[in-house]
């Protein structure tokens, strides 16, 4: 749908707009930062966070959302239990 919206509003394909955009160069001087962590530590932290979320009522919260929104929009489909 978004591709059609782009074409209808500009008369150009997404690819054509991207090519034009690359010719203009970067508007801002930016830096990219990333955090690199040992995989085992990352998974340990994720597991700990999930345990905390469950202890704080995640399951009940999701059940309440399921009850409130019986017709699932696409964004809610990931919450199915």
Q: The tokens of 34 are what? A: 């990333």
Q: What is the pLDDT of residues 47-65, one digit of tens each?
A: 999 999 999 999 999 888 8
Model pLDDT, residue 48: 98
Q: Share the mean pLDDT of the chain.
A: 87
Q: Indicate the pLDDT class of residue 21, thresholds 50, 70 and 90.
A: confident
45 has a pLDDT exceeding 70: yes
**Rg for the chain (alpha carbons), in Å?**
22
Mean pLDDT score, 34-56: 95
């Amino acid at each position: 749908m978004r591709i059609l919206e782009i074409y209808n509003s500009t008369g150009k394909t997404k690819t054509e707009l991207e090519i034009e955009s690359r010719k203009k160069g970067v508007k801002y001087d930016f830096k990219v930062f990333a955090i690199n962590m040992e995989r085992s530590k990352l998974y340990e932290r994720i597991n700990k966070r999930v345990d905390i979320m469950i202890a704080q009522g995640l399951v009940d919260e999701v059940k309440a959302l399921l009850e409130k929104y019986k017709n699932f929009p696409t964004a809610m489909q990931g919450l199915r239990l």
